[in-house]
Structure 1
Amino acid sequence: MEWGKERLVWLFLGHMSVSQVANLLSRKHKPWILAAYGMWACRCVLGTRGTAMVLIHTTVSFCVAQFRSQFLSWLCSLSLLSTLRLQDVEEVKRGWCTTENECYLLQFTLAVRCLCYTSFSLELCWRPPPAERPSYSLPWMLAYVFYYPVFHNGPVLSFPEFIAQMQQQEQSSPKTSLSILALGLGRLLFYWWLAELMVHLMYMHAIYSSASLLRAVSSWTLGGLALAQVLFFYVKYLVLFGVPALLMRLDGLRPPPLPRCVSTMFSFTGMWRHFDVGLHDFLVRYVYIPAGGSQHGLLGALFSTAMTFAFVSFWHGGNDYLWCWATLNWLGVTVENGVQKLVQRPRVQHSLVGSTSSVFPEPGQLNKRWWLRRPSSSPQELAGDCMPLLPLVPPPC
């Protein structure tokens, strides 16, 4: 976060200033002004060669998309993504960067931008080819790829959502924008302070770098450390996604929801659906549904889910531990969906209701038993006696 405070924060502030000036002077040309600023900010952070690499990837993907073939578009995106893992390419990129952090940021930026030009290419393949389609032109693709608040880390916003919101931005008064900025900035500073506190006082990074320490602790302690690491990951992403989300709101756009607290989620499906909403929507729209989804029966759903997690593993780097992680997630989601479908069967539901009715009686049965037990009571007495039972009855949906 020290490196981010030196460079990225000032560039984000510059984007906010340029965006507000563009709103006042030339709202019609705002997308192109922000695209130009994004290219300049990219050059400041990644250098001329890093910016040229992003431009080359974007241009190649745009040219391949003109064939309107989903197969070629996916082949192009996966090929460009695989070049990031080549040893020779990594050595060249390390020669461009002065620090390891800059090299990692370039690597991660190119991976995130891969999702953007993949979204543009597939959307172009799905559209009928009219004579003029200004929205699916190279300038709009560059405006989408170089939109700076989401440039380095996301969150992911599909091309149709981006262009629809950019062309019909929500206009807000200066007072409203100021209140959005004050409230969002207050939350971000609190999350940032909490993340720094966890790093410096709870030694989040140091503990997990010490294999001997992790082997020495008990299983309960190890489980607590794992939960603490997940919570730290959540707080960190509140900052990483919160800053772009705040800038997007100031630009009149609607960002994906921030990650939901991991302590409130208890399933693999819920974690994937609510932690990174933008990535989840991308996977469903461009991987799961085109692969067949649930429309082709059980085997089709299993295959589509496997393809989705295979892409996630490959996109993250394709290492052995990532394939194991993706396989475990696939198994978890599959088991959860299987149990859910099993429980939805009428016979199983009847058995579950019968086995739990003696432990948790229905509200109607509870009131009936109470009435039969005290037949001589007046309505006022019954109302007073039943008041403690009211919280046990769930409110109507």
Structure 2
Amino acid sequence: FQQYKDEYSDFTQGWAFLSRKKDISDFEWQTMKLVIKKVYIWVILSTVMSELMRKFKFIKSLQWWQVIITVTFVINELGVFPLVVILFQPLVFTVAYTWRSKFVIWLCNGIALLLISVCKHYSAGEEFLIIFKLTDKETYITILAIFWMNLRCVSYYLDLLDVPEREQRLMNFLSYSLYLPTAFSGPFIPYKDFKRCQQFDENLSSRLYTLLFEILRFLFWLFFAEFCLHFIYVNATSFHPEWVKSLDSWSLYGYGYTMGQFFHIKYLVFYGLATSFAKFENVIVPSLPVCIGRIHLYSDMWKYFDAGLYNFLLSKLVQNRFLSSLICFIFVYIWHGTDGFILIWTVLNYIAIIIENIAAAINENHLQNSKLIHKLGPKWFRRISCIAASPLLAVSAVSNFYFFARSEIGNIFALRFLN
């Protein structure tokens, strides 16, 4: 890539002391860095004012403040049109709640997701950007906000229907759905965990120390990723399938593993910074993404990579093992976007999870207490389980490569695996 003719602006001049080009071809990473740069000044202001309001027990004022600061940020940094788009879902779901029906809430959610997917498709066009006077990054930030807003709206009103004695207060909903630290980057936090931010915690020094430590920790990983992108062009490579196809198997799988590690660091930074401020405000936050190198079962990837989304699916969609898995993955497919490579990723995920569930059921009902297992002992049983699970690990890895780098790169890994 040193002599590469950069027609698509995949690279920029890197840090001066390294004298190397830097890979900037990952649009999501570049956009979220812009979000971090713009939003966290506002988040710090929001956190300081919120702490003072909690101390003096201005809870109503706190809720108004959480709404006003986010609305002001959106108008100032994105504009009025993105604000209208972001606020559209809270309005629609509030009206839908008047029917007091879970079916109506889910119907509303299905329509909302389809509209968001259509909007996402058309927002990529240059004509859309010109009409609404938005940059491609501003449009992407708005799309991110409405996808996260969708989860919060559904979760809040389904929970409200489950607890009929809880009074619906519009400010409760708005302060939750427009909470600035998680508005654009996630992760998903249910209302029951969010509402603790209305409580004042006397232990300020300990919370402040934890906040500063975690900010430094996640900024380190941000700069570490930026440093690596001067030497490992993992994202730009995905736009050159012919070169990827020419790699020998060891190099190809190493490239795939590197894609996974970059994806992990990316979401560790996004979720980590957001949850650091949320934790400071006493919000109960989901665990951060675990390193993909520690995961060998694909069900564990769902449990431990995006714990917030997993908890949402578990609490709102999972009732029986097989049908609910199908519903979950249909929801995941639509929520992530209806692109072809997302469909392949979702289908492979679903197949892997079903096979895991069948194997777990066979083990539980027929093998666990059998004479054979007792003779083999726990160590040999663990070894056999690992051997049996390794093809699934390969399939789950290939499915991720579709998700990371789209269909052309995913097909290369799939064909190499099959051959």
- For Structure 1 versus Structure 2, the TM-score category normalised by the shorter chain is 0.7 to 0.9
Matched residue, 1:266: 296
Note if contact 1:22-1:33 (Cα within 8 Å) is conserved in structure 2.
no
1:18 matched to 2:49: yes
Please tell me the residue identity of whatever aligns with 2:372.
S
Matched residue, 1:176: 206
- CA–CA distance in 2 between the matches of 1:214 and 1:114? 37
Matched residue, 1:352: 373
Matched residue, 1:117: 153
1:305 matched to 2:336: no
Residues 89 and 323 of structure 1, relative CA distance in 2, 3 Å threshold: closer
Please tell me the residue identity of whatever aligns with 1:255.
V
- CA–CA distance in 1 between the matches of 2:214 and 2:297? 29
Shift of 1:359: 7.3
| Matching of residues 158-169 of structure 1 within 5 Å | 158-163=190-195, 165-167=196-198, 169=199
Matched residue, 2:85: 53
Matched residue, 2:218: 188
Deviations 1:164-202 (A, max 9, x none): x234x3604332132112211221121111221222221
Shift of 1:357: 8.3
- CA–CA distance in 2 between the matches of 1:277 and 1:244? 14
- Structure 2: gaps spanning 5 or more residues: 1-29, 382-419
Shift of 1:228: 0.7
| Matching of residues 140-159 of structure 1 within 5 Å | 140-159=172-191
Q: 1:279 aligns with which of 267, 288, 309?
A: 309
Residues 193 and 166 of structure 1, relative CA distance in 2, 3 Å threshold: same
Please tell me the residue identity of whatever aligns with 1:332.
A
- CA–CA distance in 2 between the matches of 1:358 and 1:201? 42
Please tell me the residue identity of whatever aligns with 2:373.
L
Matched residue, 1:335: 355
Matched residue, 1:3: 34
Shift of 1:17: 2.5
Instruction: Give the alignment's Cα RMSD to 1 decimal.
Output: 2.3
1:104 matched to 2:140: yes
Q: 2:170 aligns with which of 113, 119, 138?
A: 138
Structure 2 length-normalised TM: 0.76
Deviations 1:324-382 (A, max 9, x none): 2111111111111221222233556421332458979xxxxxxxxxxxxxxxxxxxxxx
Shift of 1:244: 0.9
User: Relative contact order (alpha carbons < 8 A, sep ≥ 6): 1 or 2 greater?
Assistant: 2
1:257 matched to 2:287: yes
- CA–CA distance in 2 between the matches of 1:110 and 1:30? 23
- CA–CA distance in 1 between the matches of 2:311 and 2:41? 30
Note if contact 1:198-1:204 (Cα within 8 Å) is conserved in structure 2.
no
- CA–CA distance in 2 between the matches of 1:347 and 1:340? 10
1:43 matched to 2:78: no
The percentage of counterpart residues that share the same residue type is 23
Residues 89 and 350 of structure 1, relative CA distance in 2, 3 Å threshold: same
Shift of 1:32: 2.4
Matched residue, 2:66: 34
- CA–CA distance in 2 between the matches of 1:268 and 1:84? 28
Deviations 1:87-117 (A, max 9, x none): 6963685332532111111111111110011
Residues 341 and 170 of structure 1, relative CA distance in 2, 3 Å threshold: farther
Please tell me the residue identity of whatever aligns with 1:211.
P
Shift of 1:50: 0.8
Shift of 1:317: 0.8
Matched residue, 1:326: 346
Please tell me the residue identity of whatever aligns with 1:8.
V
Note if contact 2:298-2:353 (Cα within 8 Å) is conserved in structure 1.
yes
Note if contact 2:54-2:200 (Cα within 8 Å) is conserved in structure 1.
no
- CA–CA distance in 1 between the matches of 2:107 and 2:226? 41
Matched residue, 1:126: 162
Note if contact 1:32-1:143 (Cα within 8 Å) is conserved in structure 2.
yes
Matched residue, 1:197: 227
Matched residue, 1:391: none
Larger radius of gyration: 1
Note if contact 1:177-1:250 (Cα within 8 Å) is conserved in structure 2.
yes
- CA–CA distance in 1 between the matches of 2:46 and 2:257? 36
- CA–CA distance in 2 between the matches of 1:4 and 1:119? 25
Structure 1 length-normalised TM: 0.80
- CA–CA distance in 1 between the matches of 2:128 and 2:176? 24
- Structure 1: gaps spanning 5 or more residues: 294-300, 361-397
Matched residue, 1:248: 278
- Paired residues, number: 344
Note if contact 1:35-1:147 (Cα within 8 Å) is conserved in structure 2.
yes
| Matching of residues 282-297 of structure 1 within 5 Å | 282-289=312-319, 293=320
Residues 218 and 39 of structure 1, relative CA distance in 2, 3 Å threshold: same
- CA–CA distance in 2 between the matches of 1:114 and 1:97? 24
Note if contact 1:256-1:277 (Cα within 8 Å) is conserved in structure 2.
yes
Note if contact 1:241-1:258 (Cα within 8 Å) is conserved in structure 2.
yes
1:209 matched to 2:230: no
- CA–CA distance in 2 between the matches of 1:58 and 1:359? 54
- CA–CA distance in 2 between the matches of 1:15 and 1:240? 18
